[in-house]
């Protein structure tokens, strides 16, 4: 299997659907489209065509076809699109015809994106955004992925890169050409304060929730002693019988994860084994250890046990559950009281979770970074942040170089020549 093959895939959602979009990318895209439709449409113009199987000559569908010659296509290669009827049988039939053609094969997951990236159609940050977009299930995920794929992050990084290049050029002019008089001396304070501003700007984005949260969901862990009603509350929140409920203490032993979107925000509800120090047999004890580990990874802990006895954490929310139960144990008046079985308090609880989650997931309309991007960005941020304390131009230049390298790693581009371009464009230097 080689990356030089022509690949195809259904690019729209799983059939059945109103229409299905099949994309073909690679050197044989035009041959494949012609084999099905008889002739190529004009580049970038939709045309209605009868599609027939080249071998059986059977009519497959009447569809819209489009032709994008490379390199100005989404993948950077020759690209064809077939907008067919979205029934399972139609899509399957067209895919089979394509599969039977020489040099064509089904695309691997993400392969279109990877090709777009290798052909320089998008940088790493954009490619990541697109892959998130394809996975997007909730409205918030979708909006945020569009942000990244549209290049909002890349544009931001580009702005930073050119700002740092400008600073580098000033400092390098000072280092390589100050003896040739024609450079205006770089003003140390100016460089320092600009670096600090950039670091601050990066911090704003670093302080925001990570993009992965959107894909992974807000982790809500239910905790409390056995029989405190954790599983019952979970079932009520996710509106189905996801966990077994019984009056026997120690029913839940393993960790149960249930993903669900509420008001467009992805949540991951996690039920755990009830925590008790005595009386637990071996399997239950393992479950208890796992529960404790879940508390560490949680974004929100709903604590159903006795007030104040939960893990000491800012993420903890006290809940008084089983309001209608004979053994109901009320907590302080400020604590939310719910009855998952009877219903009271549940709306308030959901509202509380959504409120908290908004602080934890990125807002759809703001740039957010994933973990990989955050690591590089943090590296750049730290390098810039140290500059105000440095007096030595040589070290400032080094810190700027490290910041540039970190941002280059983020987008996958590279740069000493760019810096020299900046240098010579800006100053009149040389003998």
Partner 1 sequence: MNRDFDLIVVGGGHAGCEAAAVAARMGVRTALVSFTKDSIGAMSCNPAIGGLGKGHLVREVDAFDGLIGRAADAAAIHYRMLNLSKGAAVQGPRVQADRKLYKAAIHRMLDAQDNLSIVEGEVASLIFDGQTVSGITLADESQITAAVVILATGTFLNGKLFQGEETVAGGRTGEASAISLGQQIRDAGLPIARLKTGTPPRIDGRTIDWATLPEQPSDDDDWTMSPMSSRRDVPQIFCAVSRTSAATHDIIRDNLDRSPLFSGAIDAQGPRYCPSIEDKIHRFADRDSHQVFLEPEGLDTNLVYPNGISTSLPADVQEAFVRTMDGLSKAEIIVPGYAVEYDHIDPRALDRSLKVRDLDGLYCAGQINGTTGYEEAAAQGLIAGIGAACAIQRKDAPQLDRGTSYMAVMIDDLVLQGVTEPYRMLTARAEYRLRLRADNATTRLSPVAASIGCLGDERRRWFDDRQSRRARVLEELETVYSCEAIADQGMEVRRDGTKQSLFDWLRFPNISIAALKDLGLSVDDLDTGLLAEVEEDARYAPYLQRQESELKDLRANEQIRLGDDLDYAAIAGLSNEMVERLNGARPETLAAASRVRGITPAALAAILVHARRREAKNLAA
Ligand X SMILES: Nc1nc2c(ncn2[C@@H]2O[C@H](COP(=O)(O)OP(=O)(O)OP(=O)(O)O)[C@@H](O)[C@H]2O)c(=O)[nH]1
Q: Which residues bind ligand X (CB under 6 A)?
A: 224, 226-232, 245-247, 249-252, 273-274, 321-322, 324-325, 339-341
The answer to whether 124 contacts partner 1 (rule: CB under 8 A) is yes
Min separation Cβ 406 and partner 1, Å: 12
Nearest residue (CB) to Mg ion, 15 versus 250: 250
Closest separation in Å from C-beta 400 to partner 1:
11
Of 177 and 303, the one with the shorter C-beta distance to partner 1 is 177
Nearer to partner 1, 15 or 70 (CB): 70
Nearest to 321 by CA among 191, 233, 429: 233
CB of 408 to partner 1, least distance (A): 9
Q: Sign of the CA dihedral 255, 312, 368, 158? A: negative
> From the list 43, 59, 89, 428, which residue makes contact with partner 1 (rule: CB under 8 A)?
428
Which residue minimizes CB distance to ligand X?
A: 274
- What DSSP assignment string belongs to 11-47? -SPSSSSSEEEEEEESTTHHHHHHHHHSSPPPTT--E
- Exposure letters 203-231 (e unless 16+ CB within 10 A, then b): eebbebbbbbbbbebbbbbbbbbbbbbbb
Of 20 and 340, the one with the shorter C-beta distance to ligand X is 340
CB 138 within 8 A of CB 266: yes
In total, the chain counts a number of residues equal to 431
- Where in 104-123 is the site for partner 1 (CB under 8 A)? 114-115, 117-120, 123
Closer of 205 and 341 to ligand X (Cβ):
341
Under the criterion CB under 5 A, does residue 252 sit at the interface with Mg ion? yes
Reduce the DSSP state of residue 6 to 3 states and report it.
strand
Distance in angstroms (rounded) separating the CA atoms of residues 127 and 112: 10
| Residue 73 CB partners (closer than 8 Å, separation 6+) | 25, 79, 121
d(CA 414, CA 348): 52
Q: DSSP code of 54?
A: T
Given the complex with Mg ion, which of 250 and 422 has the nearer CB atom? 250
Name the CA radius of gyration of the chain, rounded. Answer: 29
Give bridge partners of residue 221 from the DSSP assignment: 270, 301
247 binds, among partner 1, Mg ion, ligand X, none (CB under 5 to 8 A by kind): ligand X
251 SS3 class: coil
Per-residue binding letters, 335-354, with Mg ion (x by CB under 5 A): --------------------
Does position 294 interact with Mg ion (CB under 5 A)? The reply is: no
Q: Which stretch in 88-96, 167-175, 223-231, 358-366 sits in contact with Mg ion by CB under 5 A? A: 223-231
Q: How far is the CB of 296 from ligand X (least distance, A)?
A: 19
Total of residues contacting partner 1 (CB under 8 A): 44
Asked if 28 and 104 count as a contact pair (C-beta separation under 8 A), the reply is: yes
Residues 6+ apart with CB under 8 A from 349: 237, 319, 336, 338
- Tell me how far apart the alpha carbons of residues 141 and 48 are, in angstroms, rounded to a whole number: 34
How many Å from the N-terminal Cα to the C-terminal Cα in the chain?
56
Q: Which of 323/386 has CB closer to ligand X?
A: 323
Q: Is 310 in the site for partner 1 (CB under 8 A)?
A: no
Nearer to ligand X by Cβ, of 88 and 292: the residue is 292
Instruction: Report if residue 182 touches partner 1, rule: CB under 8 A.
Output: yes
Q: For partner 1, which residue of 99, 108, 180, 309 counts as binding (CB under 8 A)? A: 180
Q: Which of 134, 175, 190, 335 binds partner 1 (CB under 8 A)?
A: 175
**Vertex 81 angle, CA 78 and 87, to 5°:** 150
Size of the site for Mg ion (CB under 5 A): 3
**Which lies closer to partner 1 via its Cβ, residue 75 or residue 227?**
75
* Residues pairing with 256 in the sheet: 271
278 binds, among partner 1, ligand X, Mg ion, none (CB under 5 to 8 A by kind): none
Q: What residues contact residue 370 under an 8 Å CB cut-off, 6+ apart?
A: 128, 132, 210, 211, 212
**Residue among 425, 420, 345, 395 nearest 176 (CA):** 420
- Cβ at position 251, least distance to Mg ion in Å: 5
Min CB(387)–partner 1 separation in Å:
14
Does 260 engage in binding with partner 1 (CB under 8 A)? no
Contact track, partner 1, 4-23, x by CB under 8 A = xx------------------
Question: Where on the chain is the footprint of partner 1 (CB under 8 A)?
Answer: 2-5, 71, 76, 114-115, 117-120, 123-124, 172, 174-182, 392-395, 397-398, 401, 412-414, 416-417, 419-420, 423-424, 428-431
Question: Where on the chain is the footprint of Mg ion (CB under 5 A)?
Answer: 231, 251-252
């Amino acid at each position: 299997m080689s990356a030089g093959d022509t690949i195809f895939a259904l690019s729209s959602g799983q059939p059945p659907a109103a229409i299905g979009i099949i994309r073909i990318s690679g050197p044989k895209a035009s041959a494949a489209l012609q084999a099905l439709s008889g002739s190529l449409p004009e580049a970038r113009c939709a045309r209605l065509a009868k599609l027939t199987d080249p071998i059986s000559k059977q009519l497959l569908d009447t569809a819209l076809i489009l032709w994008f010659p490379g390199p100005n296509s989404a993948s950077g290669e020759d690209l064809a699109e077939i907008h067919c009827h979205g029934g399972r049988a139609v899509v399957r039939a067209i895919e089979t015809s394509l599969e039977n053609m020489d040099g064509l094969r089904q695309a691997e997951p993400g392969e279109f994106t990877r090709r777009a990236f290798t052909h320089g159609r998008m940088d790493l940050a954009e490619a990541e955004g697109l892959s998130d977009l394809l996975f997007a299930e909730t409205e918030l995920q979708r909006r945020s992925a569009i942000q990244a794929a549209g290049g909002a992050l890349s544009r931001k990084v580009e702005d930073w890169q050119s700002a740092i290049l400008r600073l580098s050029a000033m400092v390098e002019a000072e280092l390589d050409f100050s003896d040739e008089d024609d450079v205006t001396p770089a003003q140390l304070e100016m460089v320092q304060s600009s670096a600090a501003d950039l670091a601050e700007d990066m911090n704003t984005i670093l302080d925001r929730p990570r993009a992965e949260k959107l894909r992974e969901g807000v982790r809500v862990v239910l905790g409390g002693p056995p029989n405190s009603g954790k599983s019952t509350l979970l079932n009520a929140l996710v509106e189905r019988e996801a966990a077994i409920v019984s009056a026997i203490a120690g029913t839940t032993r393993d960790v149960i994860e249930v993903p669900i979107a509420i008001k467009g925000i992805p949540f991951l509800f996690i039920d755990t084994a009830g925590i008790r120090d005595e009386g637990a047999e071996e399997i239950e004890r393992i479950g208890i250890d796992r529960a404790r580990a879940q508390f560490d990874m949680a974004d929100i802990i709903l604590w159903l046990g006795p007030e104040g006895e939960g893990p000491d954490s800012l993420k903890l929310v006290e809940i008084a559950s089983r309001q209608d139960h004979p053994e109901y144990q009320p907590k302080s008046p400020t604590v939310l009281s719910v009855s998952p079985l009877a219903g009271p308090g549940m709306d308030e609880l959901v509202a509380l979770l959504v409120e908290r989650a908004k602080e934890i997931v990125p807002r759809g309309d703001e740039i957010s970074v994933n973990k990989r991007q955050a690591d590089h960005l943090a590296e750049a941020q730290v390098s810039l942040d140290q500059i105000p304390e440095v007096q030595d131009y040589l070290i400032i230049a080094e810190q700027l170089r490290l910041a540039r390298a970190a941002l280059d790693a983020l987008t996958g581009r590279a740069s000493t020549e760019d810096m020299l371009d900046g240098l010579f464009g800006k100053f009149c230097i040389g003998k």
